[in-house]
A and B are shown apart, each in its own frame.
Chain A
Amino acid sequence: MSENGCEYHERVLTVDTMNPNIRQVEYAVRGPIVQRAVQIDKELEMGIKKPFTEVIKANIGDCHAMGQKPITFFRQVLALCSYPDLLEDNKFPVDAKSRAHRILQACGGGSLGAYSTSQGIEMIRQDVARYIERRDGGIACDPDNIYLSTGASDAIVTMLKLMVSGEGTSRTGVMISIPQYPLYSAALAELGAVQINYYLDEDNCWSLDINELRRALQEAKKHCSPRALCIINPGNPTGQVQSRQCIEDVIRFAAEENLFLMSDEVYQDNVYADGCKFYSFKKVLFEMGPEYSSKVELASFHSTSKCYMGECGFRGGYMEVVNLDPEVKVQLTKLVSVRLCPPVPGQALLDVVVNPPQPDEPSYDTFIKERSDILAALAEKANMTQDILNQVPGIKCNPVQGAMYTFPRIHLPPKAILKAKENGQSPDMFYCMKLLEETGICLVPGSGFGQREGTYHFRMTILPLKDKLKIVLAKIKDFHHIFTEQYS
């Protein structure tokens, strides 16, 4: 066999010889539809005519990309940390300078460029612990249980790595909500772990039903060894904010069934709906008393990428582990040392996030205003989105209680579903691709997150600036109407 006239050479690394788990790894948020969107962007740049003048990337939870401004105070501190000569510059407020100075003192050689310990700079872990204590009404937090990480994703995957073992029917199973943020499915695929799906209740605002957890677990026990339960609260892509009762039920369930709880809380400041409140799993766990708080194993995750900061590019994050077996903790500390240390600018940013300006400090007023404006804008857009989409026949949208996304259910005519299948596409991918080609709006099909068989959804961010968002929603409304007609 010959290739390009040369003798065919069998490569060492082929799709057949590589780690077979890799074949199952997918990540819809940056998947095929986004690749097509990037292509279209290039075509527009080249002057190719389209029915639209720009691609609107409503596929990814990136606030700054959609026009949200960074928090001034945070960026001032980061600039001062990056180039400490600026500490002599009068243009910077004293409270930013004092924070930068303190952070630099905790860095090797006073520089963001020195390695930190793998667990993260001790002073920053202490600050994070105090932040958690304040947030949780005084419940103690040990800095030694804090692991700083490269965004929350790094910590989530690390914990999953620790947990995965066994073979065949004793292979580790991990429970994850459907729909879910596809980092989980990708990581489980990469690690060759068993994904145990539990369905959120779409008819009930995407709430979590313990009976469904039980059902999923019983089913799973037949073919794997369930070890962990992952929950995203506030939810991605669904935006639901779990009630306190629900969180207690989950904790009780985890205690009964001996499951390690992984609580992804990166959207904890993004709560919009009246009557909804963020309760951290840690707080609820400890308020349930020692029967649970001394026993249930929990890892909670947070990051600097979402909330009001939106600093995705800095890859700042942490996890808090509770009731971890001491030997496992040793392994964890070893495992994180393989990647040396989390990015120090991200660690520095996290430190300022947990140490924001106080009422008696010069930067306080500006900081509070910027933060409030951002959160208010998100709340407004969340409401606007659910209102407008719910007016579209064939689109049904649950309240966007929190996070940054809407995950509406779309009714697709049977002809469209057939056409999609002919194309070898999932029906919502077919829908979203058409939407992209005709309007330039890039969303992610529901199939990328998981959904009940026979239902279709898309995930759209609520991040475009308000006026643009209005236009986007109007275009989706029009498109849906035309699409439905076209395939009737």
Chain B
Amino acid sequence: MAAELEELLGFLSSPSPPVKKAAVDIIRDYTGSEDGLQMLGKCCGVLLPSLSRLLAEKKEVSEPAAEALVNLSQNSDLAKKMVDTGVVETAMEILYKENCEITGLLVMLLVNLTQLDAGIDSLLQSGDEKMKGLYIMKLVRSFCTSSSERRGDPFEHVASVLVNISKKEAGRKLLLDPRRGLLKQIIRQFDSVSPLRKKGVSGTIRNCCFEAESQLQNLLLISEFLWPALLLPVAGNKIYSEQDASKMPLELASALSIEREPVADPDIRVQALEAIYLLVLQEAGRRAFWSVNGPRILQVGYEDEGHPKVMEAYEQIGALLLQESSSGD
């Protein structure tokens, strides 16, 4: 078996296109099964660079190569090897070549690679002073200017990349940097109909709120986008009264004064509430929350909530607000 495998790997660099195609298709099929993955994992030293090289070629070869890499990258050891051999950089390079035909797959690959710290560092380009953040800026721009209307929505999975990189402080700092304006662009995608985009944006905001202690101003200064994204999912289903709405800023008031679709995914509702909790822990965050009539919105939203985990998240904020106001805020 080993010898055949070696031969197969050799065919990946064959000068004959049909041979190469056949080989990479077989490899891709192997990566679809547990056994196959195990077997291939043993010769990753040769396999990974070969597949990586194929990404730059025509679709008939690059597509199965990308699919194989996506499957292989679900194993963290293999993912680490890929990061170490510069697959992140390769993926970004090919992604932004003209007429890239495997966009969606490359983005999915980045999602898997950014499960690792090393992958995040590579994508953030933390080591490079001049280029720092350039990859992320490109991805965010693509994410925000493409839409789910395009066939397949190839940049949809950037949403998950953003959630991953926002797990690290360096990633959060980059997204929150007011001079780059990345978070502002990202939040607007919350209105998207794509559940993946919505969830990714929600998760990213929640993660970024962990910087509330040191970077509250970078969150609050995009309030006009932030509060709607955080409060609409947890505002319940009713239309708000004129009295309640008059105490809110315009964009929030108008959104809550009409019929709207509830946000079905309870995880998104929990994430929104967790983000609010983090903001409200800070004094200025509390103040801003009160100034948009936030507590009233949560009160109304809670009335319509049935999911236990979400209810708990509402209650946590309620308790915090009560505690802070009684201690003479």
Please determine whether chains A and B interact with each other in the same assembly: no
Chain B residues with CB under 8 Å of chain A are: none
